[in-house]
Chains A and B, each alone.
Chain A
Amino acid sequence: MANPIAWQLATVVAIRDETPSVRSFTLGLPGWPGHRSGQHVDVRLTAEDGYSVERSYSIASEPEREGEVDITVEQIPGGEVSPFLHEVVVVGDRFEVRGPIGGYFVWQAALGGPLLLVAGGSGVVPLMAMIRHRHRAGLEVPTRLLFSSRHADEIIFRDELDELASAEDGFEVIHTLTRSRPSGWSGYDRRIDQRMLGEVLEPLGVGARVYICGPTALVEVAANALVRLGVPPDRVRTERFGPTGT
């Protein structure tokens, strides 16, 4: 078996815009050993002078796809790696990748549910791998995604989430928009708080498995509120990253 932590060469086989600042890259990885939803890859870029930088990106795609993974990357103005991925990389380019990485923020079918997924902005990416896995594996684990975005045009994976929810197989998505709302918006209109979490958790019950990914402030508010609502702390898994103020 391939050493999962060894660096291997990935080829960019597709690039897709998700929102004005978020783009997905499909990486062809012929020796990919498979992953669990929620895991990461490390990306290493090396300049001609030998200078190299590494970043960790959550895998967005489900484990059922063989030989390739999607990473979904938000462009961070002034960053070193994300602007390169957004502005320079084209289909056919190659760079080094290692993975899959991580065993803490992971969900797979055998863990069961029900599932409460809480995302802020690009924190939805590892949760999307779980949602896609659930769908591709034909699971009917009751699952609710509470997804906080700033503006409607910044909702990542919006069309795909709507389509998955329309199957009515036990997956639901609940949006909140924290900065601006289109006219006629029927979702929540504020930052995630305990009252909102209580309403979203209620149909699942306090036995739900919870995965929260987003900016630190969102993660801490949500994790603390859910424990106060009665979810056992060891059923709440968190991953913090990304810009504040989502």
Chain B
Amino acid sequence: MLDHSDDPAIERELDGNALAGSLESLFGRDMTAVPGRCAHCGTVHMVGAMRLFMGGPGAVLRCPACDEVVLRIVETADRTYVDARGADYLVFRRSDREIA
């Protein structure tokens, strides 16, 4: 997504909160307060709490409980690929306030 490659701050670990703007521009809504169930261990975590890795060709969000990959997002010149095979599901509240 973004070019974070040579900022040492970004080589340190981040979480889904740092991807909020890119995810919102992609999905048209805030995604950080969206819960998702990890397909590997079955625990549910909000996207903002997932561990974010930016070192490869895209963004990788990993489960904070088991460290397996939940979501991969890769942008090419004209499209975005979302690999969601690591998520059983994401839960979207049909309102614009995610504060419960």
Binding site for B on A (CB under 8 A): 5, 36, 40, 42, 53-56, 76-82, 98-99, 101-106, 108, 110-111, 215-216, 237-244
List residues of B (1-16) whose CB comes within 8 Å of A's CBs: 2-3, 6-9, 12-16
- How far, in whole Å, are A61 and B91 apart by their CA atoms in the complex? 31
Contact of B49 among A36, A238, A241 (CB under 8 A): A238
- Residue contact B20 to A102, C-beta cutoff 8 Å: yes
B30-64 to A contact mask, C-beta < 8 Å, 1/0:
10110000000000001111010000000000000
Contact of B30 among A54, A79, A80, A101 (CB under 8 A): A101
- Residue contact B15 to A238, C-beta cutoff 8 Å: yes
Question: Taking A102-B30, A104-B32, A105-B32 as contacts, is the C-beta distance between A240 and B24 under 8 angstroms?
Answer: no
- How far, in whole Å, are A102 and B98 apart by their CA atoms in the complex? 10
Residue B25 is within 8 A (CB to CB) of chain A in the complex? yes
Contact of B18 among A111, A215, A241, A244 (CB under 8 A): A241
Considering the complex of A and B, which 10 residue pairs feature the smallest CB-CB distances, nearest first?
Answer: A104-B48, A104-B32, A103-B30, A103-B33, A103-B98, A42-B21, A102-B20, A216-B13, A76-B9, A104-B33
B99 CB contacts on chain A under 8 angstroms: 36, 103, 106, 108, 110-111
Question: Taking A81-B7, A103-B33 as contacts, is the C-beta distance between A243 and B20 under 8 angstroms?
Answer: no
**B2 → chain A closest CB, angstroms:** 5
**B90 → chain A closest CB, angstroms:** 13
- Residue contact A101 to B24, C-beta cutoff 8 Å: yes
B8 CB contacts on chain A under 8 angstroms: 76-79
- Residue contact B7 to A76, C-beta cutoff 8 Å: yes
Question: Taking A102-B17, A102-B20, A106-B99 as contacts, is the C-beta distance between A54 and B2 under 8 angstroms?
Answer: yes
CB closest residue in chain B, given A79? B7
- Residue contact A241 to B12, C-beta cutoff 8 Å: yes
- Residue contact A54 to B21, C-beta cutoff 8 Å: yes
- How far, in whole Å, are A19 and B10 apart by their CA atoms in the complex? 22
- Residue contact A240 to B21, C-beta cutoff 8 Å: no
A238 CB contacts on chain B under 8 angstroms: 15, 49
B71-87 to A contact mask, C-beta < 8 Å, 1/0:
00000000000000000
- Residue contact A40 to B17, C-beta cutoff 8 Å: yes
- How far, in whole Å, are A179 and B33 apart by their CA atoms in the complex? 35
- Residue contact A102 to B32, C-beta cutoff 8 Å: yes
